[in-house]
Structures are given as structure tokens and as C-alpha cells.
């Protein structure tokens, strides 16, 4: 069945370091992946997405890597800032399924 | 531009009462989704609308839950005879309704059933 999971439930980094948040998925039919950031008391905020015909996509300070061979997705945040502290969710969608399936999330804490 | 708007932001109700939660999607978005998020958990899909129709209601936990969407815009999620286990944050999202379109979320309604 479909599932999206995260390797690490919590991640603590020093300000200025790079952060890497990992995600595994099990549905080989998944062809679209999204990372969301959720701050306390707010809804998930779209960060970056990637389609399965790509293995890397870059945004502002963020990079998403997709390894379809091992069904693994990662979010890299460069020069992590205190404002990056939040829960990060990966989500997946298959071409025939309009819904997003979410993992449980990783709490990122940035220490000044 | 305006994002997804949800109201109320907080709702406290007594067990057994009915509640209505409202969602105003981003203008022009044809797809609308309701999700539920329990404390410290991921997002649980409830229902999906494409226009005014709901092709997928598979996530609604019981027949006490219902939702409607009128005019292809505003949606209401109704929970009848609320139970304590209904306490959660109810999130609404909208999108362009095409596979691969990112969902844009509101800030949710925090429902507490006492």
C-alpha cells in the first residue's frame, strides 16, 4: 500500500549549518513529491516540489533530491536559520491520484 | 494575493453538539481538500472536491462527518454529535485540480470537544 515515512522524527542543528531531512516512500507509482514546512499554529506552507522525471531541483536555499531506485526523498536546507525551525513534511502523489499522502513530519530545531 | 481562509480559527464545543467549519479557497482553484491533523501527527485526508462534486469521500471517519461546496468556491465541513476524539486541527487546502498541482493550505480550525 501507499506510505510515506520519515527516517528522523527530530533534527537539531546549529545556525549556519546545512540541514538534511529524509523521507522514504513505498509507492513506486508515485510521480510527484512535495515538501511542506509547518510552523506552530499555522497550516503547512509549500516549499518545493519535484516530479519523478527529475532527480534534483533547487530553490532558494533549498534543494530536493529524489532517488527512485531506493524510493528516497531528501530536503537540504543551506545555511539554516532560526526561522527555519518548524516541522517539515514530505508528501507524495501518484499520477492517477490527486490526493497528497503525508508522512508524520520531522521537527527541525535551529540553535543560535 | 489572498490565500486559503478558514473560520473560525478556534472552536470549543460540548460533546454531542454539531459544528460547522468554513473554508474559502484561493480564487480560481477548482479543487478543494479537507484534512485533519491530530496533535503531533501528520495530515489525514478527509474529502476532496472538484468543483461542487466530491469524487472522493473515502477519508471521512464516520457518517457524522459531511461536507459540501457551493458555487465551486466556499466549502463547509459539518461534524454532527461531536465526540472527544474529533478534537483536532481541521485543515483546508485548494489547488488547480490537476495531478501534480501543489496544495495550498489555510491555517486550520482548531476544534476542541469537551
* Cell, residue B34: 479537507
The answer on pLDDT for A3 being more than 60 is no
Distance from the Cα of A16 to chain B's closest Cα (Å) equals: 27
pLDDT tens-digit map of A89-109: 999 987 555 778 898 899 999
Strands B10-13 and B109-113: parallel
Residue B110 forms part of a structural domain: no
Q: B10 touching A, CB under 8 A?
A: no
Q: Which chain B residues contact residue A91 at CB under 8 A?
A: 43
Is residue B33 within 8 Å of B48, Cβ to Cβ? yes
Across the interface, whether the CB atoms of B99 and A95 are under 8 A apart is answered: yes
Domain residues for the domain of B43 are 5-102
Q: What is the mean pLDDT of each run of 10 residues along chain B (114 residues)?
A: 91 98 95 90 89 86 95 95 97 88 95 98
Instruction: Please state which of the four CATH numbers 2.60.40.10, 1.10.150.120, 3.30.420.10, 1.10.287.3510 is assigned to the domain occupying A4-96+103-111.
Output: 2.60.40.10
Q: How far apart are CA A33 and CA A21, in angstroms?
A: 14
Q: What integer is the mean pLDDT of A74-82? A: 97
Rg (CA), chain A: 13
Across the interface, whether the CB atoms of A43 and B103 are under 8 A apart is answered: no
Residue A6: what pLDDT? 43
Q: Which chain A residues contact residue B33 at CB under 8 A?
A: 99
Distance from the Cα of A81 to chain B's closest Cα (Å) equals: 23
Q: Could you tell me the residue ranges of all domains in chain A? A: 4-96+103-111
The answer on pLDDT for A46 being more than 70 is yes
Residue B109 forms part of a structural domain: no
Q: Which of A46, A91, A98 sits opposite B99 (nearest CB)?
A: A98
Give how far Cα B92 sits from Cα of A52, A75, A90, A97, B32, Å.
Answer: 26, 24, 17, 18, 7
Q: How far apart are CA A50 and CA A14, in angstroms?
A: 27
Residue B10 forms part of a structural domain: yes
Residues 13-72 of B with CB under 8 A from A: 31, 33, 35, 41-43, 45, 48, 50, 56
How many domains does chain B contain in total?
A: 1
Cis peptide before B8 (omega within 30 of 0): yes
Q: Which residue has the cell 516541522?
A: A87
Q: How far apart are CA A49 and CA B103, in angstroms?
A: 11
Residue A98: what pLDDT? 74
pLDDT tens-digit map of B22-40: 999 999 999 999 999 987 7
Amino acid at each position: 500500500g501507499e506510505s510515506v515515512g520519515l527516517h528522523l522524527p527530530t533534527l537539531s542543528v546549529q545556525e549556519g549549518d546545512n540541514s538534511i531531512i529524509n523521507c522514504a516512500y513505498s509507492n513506486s507509482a508515485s510521480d510527484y513529491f512535495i515538501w511542506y514546512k509547518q510552523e506552530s499554529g499555522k497550516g503547512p506552507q509549500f516549499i518545493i516540489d519535484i516530479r519523478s522525471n527529475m532527480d534534483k531541483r533547487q530553490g532558494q536555499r533549498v534543494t530536493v533530491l529524489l532517488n527512485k531506485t531506493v524510493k528516497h526523498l531528501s530536503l537540504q536546507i543551506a545555511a539554516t536559520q532560526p526561522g527555519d525551525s518548524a516541522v517539515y513534511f514530505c508528501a507524495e502523489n501518484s499520477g492517477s491520484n490527486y490526493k497528497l499522502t503525508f508522512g508524520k513530519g520531522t521537527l527541525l530545531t535551529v540553535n543560535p | 494575493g489572498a490565500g486559503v481562509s478558514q473560520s473560525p480559527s478556534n472552536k470549543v464545543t460540548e460533546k454531542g453538539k454539531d459544528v460547522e467549519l468554513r473554508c474559502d479557497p484561493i480564487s480560481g482553484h477548482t479543487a478543494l481538500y479537507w484534512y485533519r491533523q491530530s496533535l503531533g501527527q501528520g495530515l489525514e485526508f478527509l474529502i476532496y472536491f472538484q468543483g461542487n462534486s466530491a469524487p472522493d469521500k473515502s477519508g471521512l471517519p464516520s457518517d457524522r462527518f459531511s461536507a459540501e461546496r457551493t458555487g465551486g468556491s466556499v466549502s463547509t465541513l459539518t461534524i454532527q454529535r461531536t465526540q472527544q476524539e474529533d478534537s483536532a486541527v481541521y485543515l483546508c487546502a485548494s489547488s488547480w485540480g490537476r495531478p501534480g498541482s501543489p496544495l495550498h493550505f489555510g491555517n486550520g480550525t482548531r476544534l476542541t470537544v469537551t
